[in-house]
Amino acid sequence: MALSLEQIEHLEELARIKLAPKERKLYAKQLSSVLDYVNKLQEVDVEAALPTGHASESKNIVRDDEVVDCPAGEVERILENAPDMKDSLFKVKPVFEKK
């Protein structure tokens, strides 16, 4: 599956990264190769495979949540990466539409 440069530019926007034109061509080739490999997995016959919940016998290890205060200045440093913020929180577009 060959990715177009427009698709790479769209991925670049979603990932919030800036690529040089040379890099776009390189990533288009590399990501296309990865997608081709993933498409090969669609050809695997899994009809006789038994469904599994987990591939291993391991169990979840859980711990109690613990609230920890951020060190001084840490919140400001983190929020420097936010494209938009309000009252020391990340401001994001709504996920659901209001009716």
**At residue 32, does pLDDT exceed 90?**
yes
Confidence of residue 34 (pLDDT cuts 50, 70, 90): very high
What integer pLDDT is reported at residue 6 of this predicted model? 92
Domains, the chain, in order of start with CATH, read 5-41 (1.10.20.60)
Q: What is the pTM of this model?
A: 0.46
Average pLDDT over residues 42-65: 83
Beta strands in the chain (DSSP E): 85-86, 89-90
Cα–Cα nearest to 27, from 43, 42, 7: 7
